[in-house]
Structures are given as structure tokens and as C-alpha cells.
């Protein structure tokens, strides 16, 4: 856990993030990126520099298993427990194509998942293991409820990402470029 110790000495994830994003010294930025990758490996987390975070995040049990999408927006004074995912939805036939926006002073419980282009208001609490895929108003609490099963006739679970040559998805271990103009338009508008 040497990189976790080094990261903590440099001010934790937030301190390392500030050095990696805003240092005028190229070596400092690259070294911070190197430390971040090693820190993420040790903690099983994904905490990129390219998302928008207004202030330090309080990782109540450390960042173990925490995944934050590079396109996510997080307000200030948020507290996040372990095993939380704040992730993008890249399923083009989904209503929630995009990444979450989380307000100020939110608490996100262990194992919670906030997926897609949803907005979580200010001063919200997301309970442990909740899956949030719809907007949550200010000062609200989200708790786990009974599962709802939605049967569809046919679903394609293509997860889109940008690769060399444009938008595409993996199929049988090979990156396939998307050719459908309607789908490409949706991906570009997200």
C-alpha cells in the first residue's frame, strides 16, 4: 500500500488531483498521474482527473472500489462510501444516455450506483445498494425498494465508446465501428 501512503501524504485523492490538474510544471502533472494510476490499482478504484468536482470528496471508508466516470459532475462537500459507482450510460437506446450530475452536500451509501444522465439535487442521501437512474430533487432520501422487472421483446446490450475512427462497441472481442447514422447522432448529442 505504498502508493496509498504517498497519496495520503500529498493530501489524499483531492490533493493529488489538484497537483495533477493544475500544476504548471509538466513533470509534476505527469508524476501525479503516475501516482494516481498506482493509487487506483491499490484501492481498486477509478478516480480520473477529467471529471468536474467542485470540492474535496470525503471517502468515508477510503476510495475502495469507487468508480467515478470521467464525465461526471460532483458538487462540493460530498461523502461517498466504498463500492460506489457514479457511471456513464452509453446504451444508445436508453433514455439516460450520458453521465450523472450530483449536487452539493450529498451522502452516497455503500454499494450505491448512480448511472446515466441523471441529476441528484443538493443535500441528498442515496441509501446503500440503491440504483439511481432517475433525477432526485433537493433534500431527498433514496432507499432500496422492491425490484421491478420490465420484459422487452429484444434488447441489444451494445456499450458504446469512442475509439480510433469514431463511436463503436465490442463484439466477440473486436471493436466494431457503428455505422447507423441515427445511433451516431444520438451519441454525438449526449
User: Which residue is listed with cell 478504484?
Assistant: 45
**Cell digits for 65?**
472500489
The whole-angstrom separation of Cα 168 and Cα 39 is: 30
Question: What are the pLDDT tens digits along the chain (190 aa)?
Answer: 898 899 988 888 888 888 888 899 999 999 999 999 999 999 999 998 888 999 999 998 989 999 999 899 999 999 999 999 999 998 888 888 999 999 999 999 999 999 999 999 999 999 999 999 999 999 999 998 777 778 888 878 888 999 889 999 998 889 999 999 999 998 988 7
Q: Considering the chain, tell me which residue range(s) the CATH 2.160.10.10 domain(s) occupy.
A: 46-148
Residue 177 has a CB neighbour count (10 Å cut-off) of 12
pLDDT of 102 reads 98
pLDDT of 153 reads 84
**Cell digits for 144?**
432500496
pLDDT of 180 reads 93
Helical ranges in 108-164 per DSSP H = none
The whole-angstrom separation of Cα 62 and Cα 151 is: 38
pLDDT of 136 reads 96
State the helix-helix crossing angle for 12-22 and 2-9, rounded to 10 degrees.
70
The CATH number of 46-148 is which of 2.60.120.560, 2.160.10.10, 3.40.50.720, 3.30.450.40?
2.160.10.10
pLDDT of 143 reads 93
Report which secondary-structure segment, H or E, holds 10.
none
Amino acid at each position: 500500500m505504498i502508493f496509498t501512503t504517498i497519496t495520503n501524504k500529498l493530501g489524499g485523492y483531492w490533493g493529488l488531483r489538484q497537483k495533477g490538474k493544475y500544476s504548471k510544471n509538466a513533470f509534476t502533472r505527469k508524476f501525479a498521474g503516475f501516482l494516481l494510476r498506482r493509487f487506483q490499482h491499490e484501492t481498486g478504484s477509478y478516480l480520473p482527473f477529467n471529471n468536474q468536482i467542485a470540492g474535496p470528496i470525503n471517502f468515508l471508508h477510503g476510495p475502495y472500489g469507487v468508480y467515478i466516470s470521467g464525465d461526471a459532475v460532483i458538487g462540493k462537500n460530498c461523502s461517498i462510501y466504498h463500492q460506489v459507482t457514479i457511471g456513464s450510460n452509453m446504451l444508445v437506446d436508453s433514455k439516460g444516455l450520458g453521465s450523472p450530475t450530483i449536487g452539493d452536500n450529498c451522502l452516497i451509501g455503500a454499494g450505491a450506483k448512480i448511472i446515466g444522465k441523471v441529476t441528484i439535487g443538493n443535500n441528498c442521501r442515496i441509501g446503500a445498494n440503491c440504483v439511481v437512474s432517475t433525477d432526485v430533487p433537493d433534500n431527498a432520501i433514496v432507499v432500496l425498494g422492491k425490484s421491478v422487472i420490465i420484459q422487452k421483446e429484444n434488447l441489444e446490450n451494445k456499450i458504446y465508446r469512442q475509439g480510433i475512427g469514431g463511436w463503436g462497441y465490442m463484439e466477440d472481442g473486436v471493436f466494431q465501428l457503428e455505422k447507423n447514422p441515427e445511433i451516431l447522432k444520438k451519441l454525438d448529442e449526449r
